[in-house]
Amino acid sequence: MSENQPLCALVFLTSLFCSACSQGTRFVHSAALDADGRYSIKWGFDESTITFEVEVETRGYIGFGLSPTGAMSSSDIVIGGVLSGSPYLQDYYTDSNRKVHKDALQSYQLLYGRENDTHTVLAFSRNLQTCDDNDQIITGSTVRVIWAFHEEDVGMSGPVYHGTNRGRKSLRLLNPGTSSSIPAGTAFFDLQNEEVPVPHKDTTYWCQIFKFPELKKKHHIIRIEPMIQKGHENLVHHILLYQCDSDLNESEINRGHECYHPNMPDSFFTCETVLFAWAIGGEGFTYPPHVGMSIGTSIDPVYVQMEIHFDNPSIQRGTVCHDTLTHCTK
């Protein structure tokens, strides 16, 4: 592809998305778990073990857990901190009523801990398979990570309720994707949804058709990255990008419709070939060196349809989304 001009295109809009790599050798993946950057994690793994480092803006306790649903109930949790200069960590679990219990089998190993005037850092590891019914098995699928913290350390009676200092984030811990190393100055284009008023129901599929940029010669897309609007990380469940017929009616371009609805225009049904797929917890995709998706020739995609699945189990009202896909090419 060296004879082709660089071109980069963003396809998905993701507001809180972090795939920065640690400078160390142990932690090769990282993520911010909250929108304000007060709680961040780094992690690395091998065939049998996963290791985490959490850094939180508190001098009290830190809670970190793995949940089957993203809720507090039936979760695998560790709680730790640094008290009088000494780090501590305990393995807990919650029952179906969200009551916290200390786990008889302590599957997590504390590696180190430290704190300064504003932050606490803890590092710990565990086996991927612990043979403990109270632990969550970590696989290559999406994992719901839950987090919490408090300004006070754990006392004799256990951790104080964290209040609003809590949250969740979906991550693919064992298959986080390849971080991009796109050269500075690479050209790009965005496919951004119009402002979508998410319906007052638990599941919605939203479709919108776009036209790729008109190019005078062949280019290659080398990276596609979802960009999710800030605050909507748990609302966007997955995104698909389809190739449409090349003779599509251009009056439908940039117009959005609820997918598979009886009133959806016929031209939307011509978009069948999947070009890209992303699901919650995933990251952007970078093609291997010297490989890319061809665009700009007579046999390449011209029109594409972006399908977004909004998952709204709490039936939120008044939510408006304008998500984007970014494509980097050369």
- 56 and 155 in a single domain? The answer is yes
Q: Is the pLDDT of residue 282 over 90?
A: no
- Which of 280 and 318 is assigned the larger pLDDT? 280
Structure token pair of residue 30: 């990282």
19-28, 116-125, 215-224, 232-241, range with the lowest pLDDT: 19-28
Stretch 294-315: mean pLDDT:
85
- 258 and 164 in a single domain? The answer is no
Quick check: is 23 in a domain?
Answer: no
- Which of 252 and 209 is assigned the larger pLDDT? 209
Stretch 289-313: mean pLDDT:
87
Q: What confidence category does residue 284 fall into, taking pLDDT thresholds of 50, 70 and 90?
A: confident
Quick check: is 3 in a domain?
Answer: no
Final residue of a structural domain among 137, 171, 205: 171
Name residues whose C-beta falls within 8 Å of residue 55's C-beta, 6 or more positions apart in sequence.
39, 40, 41, 42, 119, 120, 121
Q: Is the pLDDT of residue 330 over 80?
A: no
What CATH number does residue 218 fall under? 2.60.120.310
Q: Is the pLDDT of residue 10 over 80?
A: no
Distance (Å, rounded) from C-alpha 84 to C-alpha 247? 70
Q: Identify the three-state secondary structure at position 324.
A: strand
Beta bridge partners of 171: 143
Distance (Å, rounded) from C-alpha 55 to C-alpha 64? 11
Predicted pLDDT at 327: 59
Is pTM beyond 0.85? Reply is: no
Predicted pLDDT at 323: 57
Distance in Å from the first CA to the final CA of the chain: 7
- 223 and 157 in a single domain? The answer is no
Question: For residue 295, what are the domain limits?
Answer: 8-14+181-329
Predicted pLDDT at 181: 61
- 141 and 199 in a single domain? The answer is no
